[in-house]
Amino acid sequence: EIIAAIEGLMKDPAVGHPLKGKRVLVTSGPTREPIDPVRYISNHSSGKQGHAIAKAAAEAGAEVTLVTGPVSLADPVGVTVVHVESARDMLAAVEAALPADIAVFAAAVADWRVASVADNKLKKGAGGPPSLAFVENPDILATIAKHGSKRPQLVVGFAAETEAVVDNARAKLARKGCDLIVANDVAPGTGTFGGDANTVHLVTPDSVETWDRQSKDGVARALVTRLAEMIAKA
C-alpha cells in the first residue's frame, strides 16, 4: 500500500508542483547604465542565481516571467523571458509583467545612473578626465513592495553585501517593505558573483536563517519550496 500511496501522491498535480496556478515574476542579472554610446556602468552579477530561481519556480508548476539584464546564460526553458539593459527598462518590464503572486528581485540593479548621457563618445581632450554626476535610479523592489493593489502577495528582495551582511539585510527589509530578504556575501574571495555556489541568509521581520553553502540551483529549489509554503499559509 506504500506504493499505492506514492502513486496516489504522484497523480495529485499539487505534489511536486506546489506553485501550480501561481504567477511568479523573477528579475536577474546586472543592469547596464550608459555613460555615452559605447561606455556603461555595470556590476559583476552573472544572473546564475536569478535564472536558477526562475527555472525552479517553473519546475514547481508556476507560470514564470523572468526579466533579465545582460547575461551570458541561456533563457531557461518554459519561462517567459524579457531582456532589458537599464534599471528604468527593468522597472517598466516588471510593471508590465504584473499581476503576480510572488515576485523575486534577484537582479543586481544599478542604484545610480549617469545624470546626463553623452550623445557621442566622450573624447580624451585637453580638459582631462570628465567627472560624472549621478542620479538615483528607481528602486524596483520598494516600488513593487509598496504598489498597493498590484503588490504581489509575496515580495522577495536580494541583498548583495560585502560587509555587515545580515545587519544591512535587516535594514533593507524594513526600508523596502518586502516580506523576505535573501542576503548573500559578495565580497571578493567569496566567489559568489559569477560562481556556482552561494551562502545565503533568509531574513524576515522576525527571523534570520543561515543556509549551508550550496549550489545556486540548490538555493533556488529550497527558496521556491519555502515560498510555496509561505504562500500556502498566507
Segment holding 182, helix H or strand E: strand 180-185
Judged by CB under 8 A, does residue 166 bind a copy of itself?
A: no
Cell numbers representing residue 62 in the block: 508556476
- Which residue in the set 100, 106, 160, 173 belongs to the binding site for a copy of itself (CB under 8 A)? 160
105 interacts with a copy of itself by CB under 8 A = no
When asked if residue 12 is in the footprint of a copy of itself (CB under 8 A), the reply is: no
Q: How far apart are CA 18 and CA 175, in angstroms?
A: 30
Q: Does residue 137 have an active-site annotation? A: no
Give the DSSP H or E segment for 23.
strand 23-28
- Exposure string (b/e) for 193-222, b if CB count within 10 Å is 16 or more? beeeebbbbbbeeeeeeebeebebbbbbbb
Which of 5, 74, 116, 163 binds a copy of itself (CB under 8 A)? It is 163
How far apart, in whole angstroms, are the C-alpha atoms of residue 189 and residue 158? Answer: 20
Q: Which is nearer to a copy of itself, 121 or 150 (CB)?
A: 121
Q: Does 212 bind a copy of itself (CB under 8 A)?
A: no
Residue 148 touching a copy of itself (CB under 8 A): no
Q: Which of 16, 21, 78, 130 binds a copy of itself (CB under 8 A)?
A: 130
Residue position matching grid coordinates 536558477: 52
- From 171, 184, 107, select the one nearest 140 (Cα to Cα): 107
> Considering the rule CB under 8 A, would residue 111 count as an interface residue with a copy of itself?
yes
CB nearer to a copy of itself: give 152 or 157.
Answer: 157
C-alpha torsion angle, residues 107, 225, 168, 140 (rounded to 10)? 30
Residue of the chain from 108, 154, 202, 231 that contacts a copy of itself (CB under 8 A): 108
Nearer to a copy of itself, 168 or 214 (CB): 168
Binding test (CB under 8 A) with a copy of itself, winner from 27, 43, 49, 86? 43
Q: What is the Cα–Cα distance from 87 to 158, expressed in whole angstroms?
A: 15
Write out the residues near a copy of itself by the rule CB under 8 A: 35-45, 72, 108, 110-112, 120-124, 128-136, 160-163, 168, 186-188, 193
Active site positions, annotated: 43
